[in-house]
Amino acid sequence: MAAVEISGDRSRVPSTGFKGRIDCRNIEFTYPDDPSPVLKGINLTIEPGEKVGVIGRIGCGKSTFIRLVPRFYEATSGAMLLDGHDIRQYSPQRLRRHVGYMPQDYSLFNDTLRENICLGMDDVSEPAFEKAVSIAGVKAFAARHPNGFGMQVGPGGERLSGGERQAVVLARTLLRDPAILILDEPTSAMDNTLERRLLENLRPEIEGRTLILATHRAPLLALVDRIIWLDGGRVIADGPRDEVLKSLEG
């Protein structure tokens, strides 16, 4: 799947002053087992603090595109720049300190709620934990269980509903307090009530950070100001949210 695996922290860019400007220059992406490009000629810029929705039909390349930013995938050709540096100059470890990514194909482990949320993090402060679980909606269902955040989720999170599992992964992502927040269909398994509550909670949380949101859920587009519309791996519209949505209706 063209996933990136690099050991060590070998970044060749300054360790301070991260802003998060993303420049895509004629990017193409092809999976090793399929000669047909999934992304073709992607040219765009995302400024620090922008709120961007990525939309399109299933298979249009949304998930592939957003996986390029945290370097889970690398472009087959073209260049992606982060703050003017080729993104390959950032080690994945360094990059993911600044980029929070919530995938569709997430993993939960046979452990407690708390351990699943704090996965890979040491010395998590209680205020930071409380903030993340409140925004994501985990606190509400943890409060209904006698063990609270000590409840066992079971293998793959089988003791939780689909929407609850998504809330756990979102809390895990928010806990890292990323400058760039990337969400891939974050509410696809949530009911309307949980989705609406999450929408309200996320509004203040995304202030001051970049949001890249891939979704087919119209209500979530209220979080963004700009929409990138992909079709067949190409950008066919890129502009203010309301203008792009109006063109979709035409």
Residue 19 has pLDDT above 70, yes or no: yes
- Please state the domain extents for the chain: 1-8+18-96+214-250
- Cα 203 to its chain centre, rounded Å, is 15
| Whether the predicted pLDDT of 84 surpasses 60 | yes
Determine what percent of the chain is predicted with pLDDT higher than 90.
86
Nearest alpha-carbon partner for 117 in 181, 171, 160: 171
Instruction: Kindly state the tokens that stand for 121.
Output: 């993090």
CATH architecture group of domain 1-8+18-96+214-250:
3-Layer(aba) Sandwich (3.40)
Sequence-distant (≥ 6) Cβ neighbours of residue 115 within 8 angstroms: 109
Instruction: Please tell me whether residue 25 adopts helix, strand or coil conformation.
Output: strand
- The mean predicted confidence, pLDDT, of the chain is 93
Specify the DSSP class assigned to residue 178: -
Residue 14: pLDDT band (50, 70, 90) is low
Residue 17 is predicted with a pLDDT of 72
Q: Smallest Cα–Cα separation from 167: which of 183, 148, 151?
A: 183
Mean pLDDT value across residues 120-136: 96
pLDDT at 9 over 80: no
pTM value is: 0.93
